[in-house]
Structure 1
Amino acid sequence: MKEMEKEIFELECSHIHPDVRVSKEKLGEVLDDEFFEFGSSGKVWKRSDYNENHSLSPDEMEISGFKMDELGPEAVLATYRIFNKTTGASSLRSSVWKKRETGWKLFFHQGTLSQ
């Protein structure tokens, strides 16, 4: 795994970690100011939703099939599958990360339920 790909993989693992999911401060360190998400529930989430009404569950999750593609010098697309060990659900995930002055930030995320 290349250095940048390893860094993005570690960031993906960090934002699904239970300690980060229950902390709006820690999650705020990962999310871009312009962040938005198409959740596997069909709901659209924005950065402000996590600032005001933070309600992510601290589920244990595992990433598999991770792949990263560079979209340009300051943006990458990460795709992978997540298995939620708590609920037994599986979903396909995609994330767009943007390089900012403070490091890589999660700009866009999408989850799609799968079998």
Structure 2
Amino acid sequence: MENEWSSLKAHVQQLEEKLLKPEIRTSPEELSSLLKDDFFEFGSSGNIWSKNDFMGQEGAGAVNMTLSQFDMHPLSKDTVLTTYRIFDEDKEEHTLRSSIWKYANGRWQMFFHQGTKTKGPL
């Protein structure tokens, strides 16, 4: 069971890291496969976003971010909460991040995401 958990954790971390890649963030097709149709986000900017907001020509826009301190917590048999830190290289800002991922139709998709600015690294 622990081996399954660490395998799942590694997979979901890869999905989170994939969402930071410019070629994924700027592709509405890629974003559509990673985000649930009812996805929403409370951004660190204070904006609220939905999946439809990212389905335009530029997708979610390219970023230069580094993920660290990744952890994952089970919420149910098909839902997990991820928590981690992001350093935005361009803005030189640190944020705390959390996402809820749901498993359906043979794949994991992000349902919710939140970014909260913090004063610096911990």
Give unpaired runs (5+ residues) of structure 2: none
Task: Give how far 1:84 is off.
Answer: 1.1
Task: Give how far 1:3 is off.
Answer: 0.4
Task: Give how far 1:54 is off.
Answer: 4.3
TM-score normalised per structure 2: 0.88
Matched-pair contact (CA < 8 Å) for 2:26–2:59? yes
Secondary structure of the residue aligned to 1:42 is coil
Q: Partners in 1 of 2:7 and 2:106 — Cα distance? A: 18
Structure 2 counterpart of 1:87, from 81, 87, 91? 91
Deviations 1:76-95 (A, max 9, x none): 00000001112211110000
Structure 2 counterpart of 1:51, from 48, 55, 77? 55
TM-score normalised per structure 1: 0.93
Give unpaired runs (5+ residues) of structure 1: none
Q: Number of residue pairs matched?
A: 115
Aligned counterpart, 1:71: 75
State whether structure 2 residue 114 is matched by structure 1 residue 114: no
Q: Which amino acid aligns with 2:66?
A: E
Identity of aligned residues (%): 38
Structure 1 counterpart of 2:10, from 6, 11, 23? 6
Q: Which amino acid aligns with 1:18?
A: P
Q: Which amino acid aligns with 1:49?
A: D
Q: CA RMSD in A?
A: 1.5
Q: Partners in 1 of 2:100 and 2:93 — Cα distance? A: 23
Structure 2 counterpart of 1:103, from 84, 96, 107? 107
Matched-pair contact (CA < 8 Å) for 2:40–2:49? yes
Matched-pair contact (CA < 8 Å) for 2:96–2:116? yes
